[in-house]
Chain A
């Protein structure tokens, strides 16, 4: 099968890879680039496990054909930490035990980052609607919502200190 050469930026690094045209971005990230943080849940755009940012917008990578990302900028869960310093969302998920099996967690982290980037001080209802595209079968969501609330508080206090 012929493969297409694709150039894009992944987690800030100019990247290129080869993929068959029918390959999903999800499979390309995992199998061609070794970025296995992004998970496949349903493969049909319902569960949000494979969430990534494409040009800053939240997307299901299972619904994107790999050649579509030519020239685009992609952020995966591997790209949200600052070097060895976990993103506040990652830290509050850990401290609040906002995960059990962990398959949905990378998608929740990326979706929650997109949510807080757009709305730094969301209400609980806004968080629940904002994360409606991410399914978790373990936690019952409550600890996830609390972790996002705590991360928002931390991020807001950090940004105020910065000013």
Chain B
């Protein structure tokens, strides 16, 4: 295995195109363990962290641009970003320990392709976009269209994510991400739920509901969104949100959580996240 550290996006694209079996990486918190067990044998490891564009967080023209290799802690410690998108920040802040937070990136968390990735539901609920570079230039697609199944992405072998774009929310918008794990810290989501709401007084005017760890990819729940819009989050609405979230589940059955458990908890978390998102929307969080 050879290690290379390009300093421009173009150089990284050329390295990927010229070296079959090469892999890009940022924190490598998933890749290095896979290499150590022999599950992954890259010919070339392309370190993206020396490319300035992939390591920066900026805000301009009504949107945030987040370098795909930026460590999660750079995002969670960014007070202005966290104030505007608390749900995305709290999702990113749940990825592993402080040690992992200082390495793990949004790009890696997404492209690793785990259905349980904590930063992904919040980004999808926010309508975040991924800017993807390849030999043919750059293209921008919704984050929701990147992961196609466990460990699988829609990116070509010579492509990688350069940065994410997240538009500033409409006025009176709030988001929240909740995760269920069997421990208090340091575990992989059994269920994750992100909800983003825009409020008009006490009435929901726009809603995004996205679940993690309950299907082969993160899933949007249009039926829960439809139940929320026009409601004032009364008990009947919340019951409908929970039912819709549970109905959207197609989870695995494993030692962390059974199918029944994950399905029920998805409803509970969606309901609770909706309440928190509404509070944040109304309090200007």
Chain A interface (Cβ < 8 Å from any Cβ of B): 4, 21-22, 24, 43-46, 48, 51, 57-60, 62-65, 67-68, 70, 111, 114-115, 129-130, 132-134
**Interfacial chain B residues near A59, Cβ < 8 Å:** 99, 102-103
What per-residue 1/0 map shows which CB atoms of B82-102 lie under 8 Å from chain A?
000000000000001111101
From B26-34, B58-66, B128-136, the one touching the partner chain is B26-34
**Interfacial chain B residues near A60, Cβ < 8 Å:** 99-100, 103
**Interfacial chain B residues near A62, Cβ < 8 Å:** 32
What per-residue 1/0 map shows which CB atoms of B34-73 lie under 8 Å from chain A?
0110000000010101000000000000000000000101
**Interfacial chain A residues near B47, Cβ < 8 Å:** 65, 67-68
Contact B98 A111 (CB under 8 A): yes
Residue of A nearest to B37 (CB): A44
- Is there a chain A Cβ closer than 8 Å to B1's Cβ? yes
CA distance A65 to B50 in the complex (A): 14
| Selected contact of A67 from candidates B5, B33, B97, CB within 8 Å | B5
A23 → B minimal CB distance (Å): 10
B128 → A minimal CB distance (Å): 25
- Is there a chain A Cβ closer than 8 Å to B234's Cβ? no
A60 → B minimal CB distance (Å): 5
A45 → B minimal CB distance (Å): 5
A14 → B minimal CB distance (Å): 20
| Selected contact of B45 from candidates A21, A48, A57, CB within 8 Å | A21
- Is there a chain A Cβ closer than 8 Å to B185's Cβ? yes
Q: List 5 A-B contacts (CB under 8 A).
A: A22-B3, A44-B33, A64-B103, A65-B32, A132-B98
Contact B3 A58 (CB under 8 A): no
B98 → A minimal CB distance (Å): 5
Residue of A nearest to B31 (CB): A63
Residue of B nearest to A44 (CB): B33
**Interfacial chain B residues near A21, Cβ < 8 Å:** 1-3, 45
**Interfacial chain A residues near B35, Cβ < 8 Å:** 22
A46 → B minimal CB distance (Å): 8
**Interfacial chain B residues near A114, Cβ < 8 Å:** 98
A43 → B minimal CB distance (Å): 6
For A45, A59, A132, the residue with the greatest tally of chain B CB atoms inside 10 Å of its CB is A45
**Interfacial chain B residues near A130, Cβ < 8 Å:** 98
Contact A44 B3 (CB under 8 A): no
